[in-house]
Amino acid sequence: MRKKLTCLACPRGCNVEVTLGSEGEIMDMEGCSCDRGDAWVRTELLHPMRTLTTTVRTAFEDFPRLPVRTDRDIELQAFSAVMQVIDSIVVTRRMLPGEVIDPCVYEDMAGQVALISTGYML
């Protein structure tokens, strides 16, 4: 199976074509012009990661939702489990961007994932 991707490792945005084997392994890759691109494509195909951005409920009528993000990338397949934890959070104090809302909304092999405020709530 052939798969086409646009590499996001650098501003160049190489068009990459990957040939995958029957079990999802990478057999051939064409179009990467740097080592960073090669690593990005391998990660994207075999173990995709993203920063989760969403909102949490607050206890304030004038600011009912606060924008937040995870402090690092997490596995895409973990998004549902992390969102279940986030859905149960209610912020009860005013926050500034960068403040930690919850120090551990998820834990994986790399350690704990914190939830960070990204909006002003004054």
pLDDT tens digit sequence for 44-54:
998 899 999 99
Distance between CA 35 and CA 49 in Å, rounded? 18
pLDDT tens digit sequence for 41-82:
999 998 899 999 999 999 999 999 999 999 999 999 999 999
Distance between CA 120 and CA 30 in Å, rounded? 44
Q: Is 107 helix (H, G, I), strand (E, B) or coil?
A: strand
What is the pLDDT of the chain when averaged over all its residues?
Answer: 93
pLDDT tens digit sequence for 25-38:
899 999 998 889 99
Strand-pair category, 65-70 with 26-30 = unpaired
Domains, in order of start, for the chain: 2-47 (2.20.25), 53-117 (3.10.530.10)
pLDDT for residue 5 = 94
